[in-house]
Protein backbone atom coordinates (compact mmCIF):
# COMPACT_ATOMS: atom_id res chain seq x y z
CA UNK A 1 0.00 0.00 0.00
CA UNK A 2 1.23 3.50 -0.78
CA UNK A 3 1.56 6.22 1.87
CA UNK A 4 -1.43 8.49 2.25
CA UNK A 5 -2.92 11.34 4.25
CA UNK A 6 -6.68 11.36 4.53
CA UNK A 7 -8.98 13.85 6.18
CA UNK A 8 -12.60 14.32 5.23
CA UNK A 9 -14.42 16.91 7.29
CA UNK A 10 -17.82 16.82 5.53
CA UNK A 11 -20.77 16.26 7.85
CA UNK A 12 -23.40 14.12 6.14
CA UNK A 13 -27.07 14.56 7.03
CA UNK A 14 -28.66 11.51 5.44
CA UNK A 15 -32.32 10.63 5.10
CA UNK A 16 -35.89 11.84 4.97
CA UNK A 17 -36.62 15.31 6.25
CA UNK A 18 -33.00 16.25 6.85
CA UNK A 19 -33.30 19.57 5.00
CA UNK A 20 -35.06 20.88 8.11
CA UNK A 21 -31.73 20.63 9.98
CA UNK A 22 -29.70 22.95 7.79
CA UNK A 23 -30.28 26.17 9.71
CA UNK A 24 -28.46 24.81 12.75
CA UNK A 25 -25.48 23.92 10.54
CA UNK A 26 -25.07 27.48 9.23
CA UNK A 27 -23.47 30.03 11.58
CA UNK A 28 -26.02 32.31 13.25
CA UNK A 29 -26.02 35.76 11.69
CA UNK A 30 -24.49 34.57 8.41
CA UNK A 31 -25.73 36.18 5.22
CA UNK A 32 -26.52 33.21 3.00
CA UNK A 33 -26.48 32.94 -0.80
CA UNK A 34 -28.63 30.01 -1.96
CA UNK A 35 -27.52 28.78 -5.40
CA UNK A 36 -29.47 26.51 -7.73
CA UNK A 37 -29.84 25.38 -11.31
CA UNK A 38 -32.50 25.62 -13.98
CA UNK A 39 -35.51 25.30 -11.72
CA UNK A 40 -36.03 21.61 -10.87
CA UNK A 41 -35.97 22.51 -7.17
CA UNK A 42 -38.94 24.80 -7.63
CA UNK A 43 -41.01 21.95 -9.12
CA UNK A 44 -40.17 19.14 -6.68
CA UNK A 45 -40.68 20.98 -3.41
CA UNK A 46 -37.00 21.17 -2.46
CA UNK A 47 -36.89 24.96 -2.77
CA UNK A 48 -39.89 25.22 -0.43
CA UNK A 49 -38.24 22.93 2.11
CA UNK A 50 -35.07 25.04 2.02
CA UNK A 51 -37.10 28.22 2.35
CA UNK A 52 -38.90 26.83 5.39
CA UNK A 53 -35.63 25.69 6.96
CA UNK A 54 -34.10 29.15 6.48
CA UNK A 55 -37.03 31.04 7.96
CA UNK A 56 -35.84 34.01 9.97
CA UNK A 57 -32.37 33.82 8.44
CA UNK A 58 -30.89 36.43 6.12
CA UNK A 59 -30.60 34.97 2.63
CA UNK A 60 -30.59 35.83 -1.06
CA UNK A 61 -30.56 33.55 -4.10
CA UNK A 62 -28.84 32.99 -7.44
CA UNK A 63 -30.46 30.59 -9.92
CA UNK A 64 -29.54 29.47 -13.42
CA UNK A 65 -26.34 27.47 -12.89
CA UNK A 66 -26.37 25.20 -15.91
CA UNK A 67 -25.38 21.51 -16.25
CA UNK A 68 -21.59 21.49 -16.72
CA UNK A 69 -21.50 24.82 -14.88
CA UNK A 70 -20.17 27.77 -16.82
CA UNK A 71 -17.37 29.96 -15.56
CA UNK A 72 -19.21 32.93 -17.05
CA UNK A 73 -22.36 32.28 -14.97
CA UNK A 74 -20.46 31.52 -11.79
CA UNK A 75 -18.49 34.75 -12.08
CA UNK A 76 -21.80 36.64 -11.96
CA UNK A 77 -22.71 34.82 -8.77
CA UNK A 78 -19.28 35.52 -7.29
CA UNK A 79 -19.77 39.21 -8.06
CA UNK A 80 -23.15 39.12 -6.31
CA UNK A 81 -21.63 37.37 -3.30
CA UNK A 82 -18.98 40.07 -3.04
CA UNK A 83 -21.38 42.95 -3.54
CA UNK A 84 -23.83 41.62 -0.98
CA UNK A 85 -21.11 40.67 1.51
CA UNK A 86 -22.35 37.08 1.61
CA UNK A 87 -20.62 34.86 4.14
CA UNK A 88 -22.11 31.42 3.49
CA UNK A 89 -23.08 29.61 0.27
CA UNK A 90 -25.80 26.96 0.15
CA UNK A 91 -25.84 24.90 -3.06
CA UNK A 92 -29.18 23.22 -3.77
CA UNK A 93 -29.13 20.86 -6.75
CA UNK A 94 -26.99 18.32 -8.59
CA UNK A 95 -23.25 18.09 -9.06
CA UNK A 96 -23.23 21.03 -11.44
CA UNK A 97 -24.81 23.42 -8.95
CA UNK A 98 -22.46 22.20 -6.26
CA UNK A 99 -19.34 22.38 -8.45
CA UNK A 100 -20.37 25.84 -9.65
CA UNK A 101 -20.86 26.91 -6.04
CA UNK A 102 -17.43 25.58 -5.08
CA UNK A 103 -15.95 27.77 -7.80
CA UNK A 104 -18.06 30.75 -6.68
CA UNK A 105 -16.71 30.22 -3.14
CA UNK A 106 -13.15 30.52 -4.45
CA UNK A 107 -13.81 33.26 -7.01
CA UNK A 108 -15.53 35.52 -4.47
CA UNK A 109 -12.34 35.53 -2.38
CA UNK A 110 -9.74 35.56 -5.17
CA UNK A 111 -7.66 38.74 -5.33
CA UNK A 112 -4.83 37.87 -7.71
CA UNK A 113 -6.48 38.34 -11.08
CA UNK A 114 -8.80 36.00 -12.95
CA UNK A 115 -10.10 33.05 -10.87
CA UNK A 116 -10.05 30.95 -14.06
CA UNK A 117 -6.34 30.56 -13.28
CA UNK A 118 -7.34 28.38 -10.34
CA UNK A 119 -9.20 26.07 -12.71
CA UNK A 120 -6.29 25.78 -15.14
CA UNK A 121 -3.85 25.23 -12.28
CA UNK A 122 -1.91 28.44 -13.01
CA UNK A 123 -2.87 29.72 -9.53
CA UNK A 124 -4.03 28.22 -6.26
CA UNK A 125 -7.19 29.05 -4.37
CA UNK A 126 -6.23 31.47 -1.59
CA UNK A 127 -9.42 31.31 0.43
CA UNK A 128 -13.03 30.28 -0.05
CA UNK A 129 -16.39 31.17 1.40
CA UNK A 130 -17.75 28.34 3.53
CA UNK A 131 -20.43 26.29 1.81
CA UNK A 132 -23.08 23.68 2.46
CA UNK A 133 -25.09 21.53 0.12
CA UNK A 134 -28.51 19.99 -0.40
CA UNK A 135 -27.87 17.35 -3.05
CA UNK A 136 -30.67 16.37 -5.41
CA UNK A 137 -28.83 14.07 -7.84
CA UNK A 138 -26.68 11.11 -6.78
CA UNK A 139 -23.71 10.86 -9.14
CA UNK A 140 -20.64 12.99 -8.71
CA UNK A 141 -19.61 12.61 -5.05
CA UNK A 142 -19.04 16.37 -5.08
CA UNK A 143 -21.05 16.52 -1.84
CA UNK A 144 -18.16 14.94 0.03
CA UNK A 145 -15.04 15.85 -1.94
CA UNK A 146 -12.64 18.64 -2.87
CA UNK A 147 -13.31 18.69 -6.62
CA UNK A 148 -15.17 20.91 -9.03
CA UNK A 149 -15.36 20.76 -12.82
CA UNK A 150 -15.94 24.07 -14.60
CA UNK A 151 -16.62 24.81 -18.26
CA UNK A 152 -15.48 27.98 -19.96
CA UNK A 153 -18.20 28.44 -22.52
CA UNK A 154 -16.25 30.92 -24.66
CA UNK A 155 -13.42 28.44 -25.34
CA UNK A 156 -15.30 25.17 -24.76
CA UNK A 157 -12.78 24.05 -22.16
CA UNK A 158 -13.99 21.79 -19.36
CA UNK A 159 -11.40 21.45 -16.59
CA UNK A 160 -11.31 20.06 -13.06
CA UNK A 161 -9.70 21.69 -10.05
CA UNK A 162 -9.33 20.59 -6.50
CA UNK A 163 -8.75 22.29 -3.14
CA UNK A 164 -9.39 21.31 0.48
CA UNK A 165 -10.89 24.80 0.85
CA UNK A 166 -13.98 23.69 -1.08
CA UNK A 167 -15.05 20.75 1.03
CA UNK A 168 -18.68 21.41 1.92
CA UNK A 169 -19.16 21.96 5.66
CA UNK A 170 -22.20 19.71 5.44
CA UNK A 171 -24.24 17.90 2.81
CA UNK A 172 -27.87 16.88 3.07
CA UNK A 173 -28.60 13.63 1.25
CA UNK A 174 -32.33 13.06 1.34
CA UNK A 175 -33.14 10.33 -1.20
CA UNK A 176 -36.70 11.68 -1.50
CA UNK A 177 -35.38 14.86 -3.10
CA UNK A 178 -34.15 12.68 -5.99
CA UNK A 179 -37.50 11.01 -6.74
CA UNK A 180 -38.29 13.64 -9.37
CA UNK A 181 -35.20 12.82 -11.47
CA UNK A 182 -35.91 11.71 -15.03
CA UNK A 183 -34.58 8.22 -15.98
CA UNK A 184 -31.70 9.73 -17.97
CA UNK A 185 -30.29 11.43 -14.87
CA UNK A 186 -30.67 8.31 -12.73
CA UNK A 187 -28.85 6.38 -15.43
CA UNK A 188 -26.15 9.07 -15.44
CA UNK A 189 -25.77 8.74 -11.69
CA UNK A 190 -25.34 4.96 -11.82
CA UNK A 191 -22.74 5.14 -14.60
CA UNK A 192 -20.82 8.08 -13.12
CA UNK A 193 -20.52 6.36 -9.73
CA UNK A 194 -19.49 3.11 -11.42
CA UNK A 195 -16.76 4.82 -13.44
CA UNK A 196 -15.51 6.79 -10.41
CA UNK A 197 -15.02 3.47 -8.68
CA UNK A 198 -13.30 2.09 -11.77
CA UNK A 199 -10.88 5.02 -11.97
CA UNK A 200 -9.61 4.25 -8.47
CA UNK A 201 -9.59 0.45 -8.81
CA UNK A 202 -8.68 -0.56 -12.35
CA UNK A 203 -4.96 0.21 -12.23
CA UNK A 204 -2.34 -2.20 -10.87
CA UNK A 205 -2.17 -4.15 -7.61
CA UNK A 206 -0.40 -2.57 -4.63
CA UNK A 207 -1.56 -5.08 -2.05
CA UNK A 208 -4.59 -3.13 -0.88
CA UNK A 209 -7.23 -5.83 -0.41
CA UNK A 210 -9.46 -3.63 1.75
CA UNK A 211 -9.65 -0.78 -0.78
CA UNK A 212 -10.21 -3.37 -3.53
CA UNK A 213 -13.08 -5.03 -1.71
CA UNK A 214 -14.64 -1.69 -0.83
CA UNK A 215 -14.54 -0.73 -4.51
CA UNK A 216 -15.97 -4.13 -5.50
CA UNK A 217 -18.76 -3.63 -2.95
CA UNK A 218 -19.67 -0.35 -4.65
CA UNK A 219 -19.65 -2.01 -8.11
CA UNK A 220 -21.88 -4.84 -6.88
CA UNK A 221 -24.27 -2.50 -5.06
CA UNK A 222 -24.68 -0.36 -8.17
CA UNK A 223 -25.29 -3.47 -10.29
CA UNK A 224 -27.96 -4.68 -7.84
CA UNK A 225 -29.63 -1.43 -6.85
CA UNK A 226 -29.29 0.55 -10.09
CA UNK A 227 -31.91 -1.39 -12.06
CA UNK A 228 -34.24 -1.46 -9.03
CA UNK A 229 -34.18 2.29 -8.60
CA UNK A 230 -34.68 2.84 -12.34
CA UNK A 231 -37.66 0.49 -12.39
CA UNK A 232 -39.28 2.10 -9.35
CA UNK A 233 -38.07 5.68 -8.89
CA UNK A 234 -39.92 6.13 -5.60
CA UNK A 235 -38.58 2.96 -3.94
CA UNK A 236 -36.90 4.74 -1.02
CA UNK A 237 -34.59 1.91 -0.02
CA UNK A 238 -33.17 1.34 -3.50
CA UNK A 239 -32.67 5.07 -4.04
CA UNK A 240 -31.03 5.47 -0.64
CA UNK A 241 -28.55 2.77 -1.60
CA UNK A 242 -27.76 4.50 -4.89
CA UNK A 243 -27.29 7.85 -3.13
CA UNK A 244 -24.86 6.45 -0.57
CA UNK A 245 -22.97 4.40 -3.18
CA UNK A 246 -22.43 7.50 -5.31
CA UNK A 247 -21.08 9.43 -2.32
CA UNK A 248 -18.73 6.63 -1.26
CA UNK A 249 -17.51 6.20 -4.83
CA UNK A 250 -15.83 9.60 -4.77
CA UNK A 251 -15.26 10.79 -1.22
CA UNK A 252 -11.60 9.80 -1.32
CA UNK A 253 -11.90 6.69 0.83
CA UNK A 254 -11.38 4.01 -1.83
CA UNK A 255 -8.54 6.08 -3.33
CA UNK A 256 -6.29 6.06 -0.28
CA UNK A 257 -3.01 4.24 -0.72
CA UNK A 258 -3.73 3.11 -4.30
CA UNK A 259 -2.85 4.39 -7.79
CA UNK A 260 -5.59 6.24 -9.68
CA UNK A 261 -6.34 6.45 -13.39
CA UNK A 262 -8.84 9.25 -14.39
CA UNK A 263 -8.01 9.02 -18.12
CA UNK A 264 -11.62 8.06 -18.92
CA UNK A 265 -12.79 11.26 -17.22
CA UNK A 266 -10.26 13.50 -18.95
CA UNK A 267 -11.18 12.11 -22.39
CA UNK A 268 -14.88 12.22 -21.52
CA UNK A 269 -14.69 15.90 -20.51
CA UNK A 270 -13.56 16.72 -24.06
CA UNK A 271 -16.60 14.92 -25.54
CA UNK A 272 -18.87 16.95 -23.26
CA UNK A 273 -17.11 20.26 -23.92
CA UNK A 274 -17.04 19.80 -27.69
CA UNK A 275 -20.23 17.84 -28.36
CA UNK A 276 -22.51 18.24 -25.35
CA UNK A 277 -22.76 14.63 -24.18
CA UNK A 278 -23.88 14.36 -20.56
CA UNK A 279 -20.91 13.70 -18.31
CA UNK A 280 -21.87 10.07 -17.63
CA UNK A 281 -22.71 9.42 -21.28
CA UNK A 282 -19.17 10.44 -22.18
CA UNK A 283 -17.83 7.97 -19.62
CA UNK A 284 -20.04 5.14 -20.92
CA UNK A 285 -18.48 5.67 -24.35
CA UNK A 286 -14.86 5.91 -23.24
CA UNK A 287 -14.58 3.40 -20.38
CA UNK A 288 -15.09 0.06 -22.20
CA UNK A 289 -12.72 1.02 -25.03
CA UNK A 290 -10.10 2.39 -22.68
CA UNK A 291 -10.07 -0.83 -20.69
CA UNK A 292 -9.60 -2.80 -23.90
CA UNK A 293 -6.73 -0.66 -25.11
CA UNK A 294 -5.03 -0.73 -21.69
CA UNK A 295 -5.80 -4.38 -20.93
CA UNK A 296 -2.11 -5.33 -20.92
CA UNK A 297 -1.13 -2.93 -18.12
CA UNK A 298 -4.40 -3.38 -16.22
CA UNK A 299 -4.38 -7.16 -16.60
CA UNK A 300 -4.38 -8.27 -12.94
CA UNK A 301 -7.13 -5.90 -11.88
CA UNK A 302 -9.23 -6.71 -14.95
CA UNK A 303 -9.04 -10.41 -14.09
CA UNK A 304 -9.99 -9.68 -10.48
CA UNK A 305 -12.89 -7.48 -11.67
CA UNK A 306 -14.16 -10.22 -13.99
CA UNK A 307 -14.04 -12.84 -11.26
CA UNK A 308 -15.21 -10.93 -8.20
CA UNK A 309 -17.71 -8.51 -9.73
CA UNK A 310 -19.06 -10.58 -12.63
CA UNK A 311 -18.30 -14.11 -11.37
CA UNK A 312 -16.48 -15.04 -14.58
CA UNK A 313 -14.27 -18.03 -13.87
CA UNK A 314 -14.19 -19.96 -17.14
CA UNK A 315 -11.93 -19.40 -20.14
CA UNK A 316 -8.43 -18.11 -20.80
CA UNK A 317 -7.32 -14.93 -19.02
CA UNK A 318 -7.83 -12.96 -22.26
CA UNK A 319 -11.36 -14.32 -22.62
CA UNK A 320 -12.21 -13.50 -19.00
CA UNK A 321 -10.88 -9.95 -19.37
CA UNK A 322 -12.91 -9.47 -22.54
CA UNK A 323 -16.06 -10.87 -20.92
CA UNK A 324 -15.65 -8.63 -17.86
CA UNK A 325 -15.40 -5.53 -20.03
CA UNK A 326 -18.38 -6.63 -22.14
CA UNK A 327 -20.44 -7.27 -18.99
CA UNK A 328 -19.68 -3.72 -17.88
CA UNK A 329 -20.66 -2.37 -21.30
CA UNK A 330 -23.90 -4.35 -21.26
CA UNK A 331 -24.65 -3.01 -17.77
CA UNK A 332 -24.23 0.59 -18.94
CA UNK A 333 -26.47 -0.08 -21.94
CA UNK A 334 -29.06 -1.82 -19.75
CA UNK A 335 -29.39 1.19 -17.46
CA UNK A 336 -29.85 3.48 -20.45
CA UNK A 337 -26.37 4.77 -21.28
CA UNK A 338 -25.32 3.95 -24.86
CA UNK A 339 -21.63 3.08 -25.18
CA UNK A 340 -20.89 4.03 -28.80
CA UNK A 341 -20.24 7.47 -30.28
CA UNK A 342 -22.68 6.74 -33.09
CA UNK A 343 -25.56 6.57 -30.61
CA UNK A 344 -24.92 10.26 -29.87
CA UNK A 345 -24.72 11.17 -33.55
CA UNK A 346 -20.93 11.39 -33.57
CA UNK A 347 -18.58 9.92 -36.17
CA UNK A 348 -15.03 8.57 -36.04
CA UNK A 349 -13.59 12.03 -36.81
CA UNK A 350 -14.12 12.89 -33.14
CA UNK A 351 -11.15 10.64 -32.32
CA UNK A 352 -8.59 12.91 -34.01
CA UNK A 353 -10.34 16.04 -32.81
CA UNK A 354 -10.01 15.02 -29.15
CA UNK A 355 -6.49 13.62 -29.54
CA UNK A 356 -5.29 16.85 -31.19
CA UNK A 357 -6.82 18.92 -28.43
CA UNK A 358 -5.03 16.97 -25.72
CA UNK A 359 -1.77 17.15 -27.69
CA UNK A 360 -2.09 20.93 -27.99
CA UNK A 361 -2.80 21.27 -24.29
CA UNK A 362 0.33 19.27 -23.52
CA UNK A 363 -1.61 16.39 -21.96
CA UNK A 364 0.73 13.81 -23.41
CA UNK A 365 0.32 11.01 -20.90
CA UNK A 366 -2.88 10.34 -18.94
CA UNK A 367 -3.67 7.51 -16.55
CA UNK A 368 -1.99 5.83 -13.60
CA UNK A 369 1.23 5.32 -15.55
CA UNK A 370 0.95 8.51 -17.63
CA UNK A 371 1.07 6.28 -20.69
CA UNK A 372 -2.27 7.09 -22.33
CA UNK A 373 -0.83 9.20 -25.14
CA UNK A 374 -2.83 11.26 -27.63
CA UNK A 375 -2.20 8.45 -30.15
CA UNK A 376 -3.81 5.99 -27.75
CA UNK A 377 -6.68 8.39 -27.05
CA UNK A 378 -7.39 8.38 -30.78
CA UNK A 379 -7.29 4.61 -30.83
CA UNK A 380 -9.66 4.41 -27.81
CA UNK A 381 -12.21 6.70 -29.45
CA UNK A 382 -11.95 4.91 -32.80
CA UNK A 383 -12.76 1.68 -30.96
CA UNK A 384 -15.79 3.43 -29.46
CA UNK A 385 -17.14 4.63 -32.83
O1 LIG B 1 -30.64 22.56 -13.25
P2 LIG B 1 -31.83 21.86 -12.68
O3 LIG B 1 -33.11 22.47 -13.07
O4 LIG B 1 -31.71 21.63 -11.20
O5 LIG B 1 -31.89 20.40 -13.38
C6 LIG B 1 -30.86 19.43 -13.28
C7 LIG B 1 -30.07 19.28 -14.58
O8 LIG B 1 -30.83 19.62 -15.69
C9 LIG B 1 -31.51 18.09 -13.15
N10 LIG B 1 -31.83 17.73 -11.77
C11 LIG B 1 -30.99 17.71 -10.69
N12 LIG B 1 -31.65 17.25 -9.61
C13 LIG B 1 -32.94 16.99 -10.01
C14 LIG B 1 -33.04 17.29 -11.37
N15 LIG B 1 -34.19 17.13 -12.07
C16 LIG B 1 -35.25 16.64 -11.39
N17 LIG B 1 -35.21 16.31 -10.08
C18 LIG B 1 -34.06 16.45 -9.36
N19 LIG B 1 -34.02 16.06 -8.08
O20 LIG B 1 -30.55 17.17 -13.65
C21 LIG B 1 -29.79 17.80 -14.68
C22 LIG B 1 -28.33 17.43 -14.54
O23 LIG B 1 -27.82 17.98 -13.35
P24 LIG B 1 -26.24 18.05 -13.09
O25 LIG B 1 -26.04 18.71 -11.78
O26 LIG B 1 -25.56 18.62 -14.28
O27 LIG B 1 -25.85 16.49 -13.01
P28 LIG B 1 -24.71 15.76 -12.21
O29 LIG B 1 -25.01 15.72 -10.76
O30 LIG B 1 -24.53 14.49 -12.91
O31 LIG B 1 -23.42 16.68 -12.36
C32 LIG B 1 -22.62 16.65 -13.51
C33 LIG B 1 -21.47 17.62 -13.37
O34 LIG B 1 -20.58 17.21 -12.31
C35 LIG B 1 -19.25 17.09 -12.83
C36 LIG B 1 -19.48 16.73 -14.27
O37 LIG B 1 -18.35 16.93 -15.06
C38 LIG B 1 -20.63 17.65 -14.63
O39 LIG B 1 -20.15 18.95 -14.89
N40 LIG B 1 -18.49 16.14 -12.02
C41 LIG B 1 -18.08 16.54 -10.81
C42 LIG B 1 -17.29 15.76 -10.00
C43 LIG B 1 -16.84 16.22 -8.68
N44 LIG B 1 -17.13 17.45 -8.29
O45 LIG B 1 -16.16 15.47 -7.96
C46 LIG B 1 -16.81 14.45 -10.43
C47 LIG B 1 -17.52 13.92 -11.63
O48 LIG B 1 -16.63 13.05 -12.29
C49 LIG B 1 -18.00 14.91 -12.59
O50 LIG B 1 -16.96 15.24 -13.48
ZN1 LIG C 1 -17.58 11.53 -13.11
In a domain, 53, yes or no: yes
User: What residue ranges of the chain have pLDDT lower than 70?
Assistant: none
Segment 123-178, tens digit of pLDDT: 999 999 999 999 999 999 999 999 999 999 999 999 999 999 999 999 999 999 99
Ligand 1 near 132 CB (within 6 A) = no
The pLDDT, as a whole number, for residue 126 is: 92
Q: With a 6 A CB cut-off, is 188 part of the ligand 1 pocket?
A: yes
Claim to verify: residue 133 and residue 148 sit in the same structural domain: yes
Residue 335 within any structural domain of the chain: yes
Residues 197 and 131 occupy one common structural domain: no
Among the bound ligands, name the one nearest to the CA of residue 138.
1
290 lies in the same domain as 332:
yes
Helix, strand, or coil here: 159?
strand
- Is the same domain home to 52 and 132? yes
Question: What is the span of the domain harbouring residue 30?
Answer: 11-177
Q: Which residue has its alpha carbon closest to ligand 1 atom 34?
A: 95
| Minimum-distance ligand 1 atom for the alpha carbon of 141 | 45
Q: Into how many domains does the chain fold?
A: 2
Residues 149, 187, single domain; the answer is no
The predicted structure's pLDDT at residue 325: 98
Same domain, 148 and 201: no
How confident is the model at residue 31, as a pLDDT?
A: 98
Using the mean position of ligand 2's atoms as its centre, give its distance from the Cα of residue 269 in Å.
9
Whether residues 279 and 350 share a domain: the answer is yes
- Of the candidates 137, 159, 158, 162, the residue with the CA atom closest to the CA atom of residue 147: 162
Please tell me the predicted confidence (pLDDT) of residue 167.
98
d(Cα 337, Cα 340) in Å, to the nearest integer?
9
CATH of the domain at 50: 3.40.50.1970
Considering the domain boundaries, does residue 5 fall inside one?
A: no
> How high is the pLDDT of residue 367?
98
Residue 72 lies in a domain: yes
pLDDT value at residue 1:
97
Each residue's pLDDT tens digit, 318-343: 999 999 999 999 999 999 999 999 99
Write the CATH number for 299: 1.20.1090.10
- Claim to verify: residue 24 and residue 148 sit in the same structural domain: yes
The span from the CA of 100 to the CA of 97, in Å, is 5
SS3 letters across 177-235:
HHCCCCHHHHHHHHHHHHHHHHHHHCCCCCCCHHHHHHHHHHHHHHHHHHHHHHHCCCC
Query: 49 CB under 6 A from ligand 1?
Result: no
Instruction: Give me the pLDDT at residue 258, please.
Output: 98
What pLDDT does residue 37 have?
Answer: 98
Indicate whether 320 belongs to any domain.
Answer: yes
The minimum-distance atom of ligand 1 relative to the CA of 151 is 39
Q: For ligand 1, atom 43, which residue shows the shortest CA distance? A: 142
Picking from 133, 153, 177, the residue at the C-terminal end of a domain is 177
Residue 246 lies in a domain: yes
DSSP-H helix ranges across 16-146: 22-25, 40-43, 46-53, 71-83, 95-107, 116-120
One domain, residues 239 and 361: yes
Is residue 334 assigned to a domain?
yes
pLDDT at 282 (0 to 100): 98
Quote the pLDDT of residue 40: 98
**Per-residue confidence (pLDDT) for residue 267, from 0 to 100:** 98
Cβ of residue 96 lying under 6 Å from some atom of ligand 1? yes
Nearest CA to ligand 1 atom 31: 95
- Helix 279-293 and helix 183-201, axial crossing angle in degrees, nearest 10: 40
Is the beta carbon of 264 within 6 A of some atom in ligand 1? no
Ligand 1 centroid to 18 CA: how many Å? 20
- Residue 57 has a pLDDT of 97
Bridging pattern class, strands 58-62 and 88-93: unpaired
State the CB neighbour count (10 A cutoff) for residue 41: 24
User: Do residues 173 and 203 both lie within one domain?
Assistant: no
Amino acid sequence: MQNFTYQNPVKILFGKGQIASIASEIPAGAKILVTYGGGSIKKNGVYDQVKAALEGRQWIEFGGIEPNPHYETCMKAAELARKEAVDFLLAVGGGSVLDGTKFIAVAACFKKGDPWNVVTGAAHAEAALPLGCVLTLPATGSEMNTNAVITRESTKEKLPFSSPLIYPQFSVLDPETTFSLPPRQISNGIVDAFVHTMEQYMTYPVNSPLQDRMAEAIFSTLIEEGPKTLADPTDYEARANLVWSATLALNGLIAVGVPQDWATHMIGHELTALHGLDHAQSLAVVAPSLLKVKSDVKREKLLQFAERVWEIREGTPEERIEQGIEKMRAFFESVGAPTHLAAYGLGAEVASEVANRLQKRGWLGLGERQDVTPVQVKHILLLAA
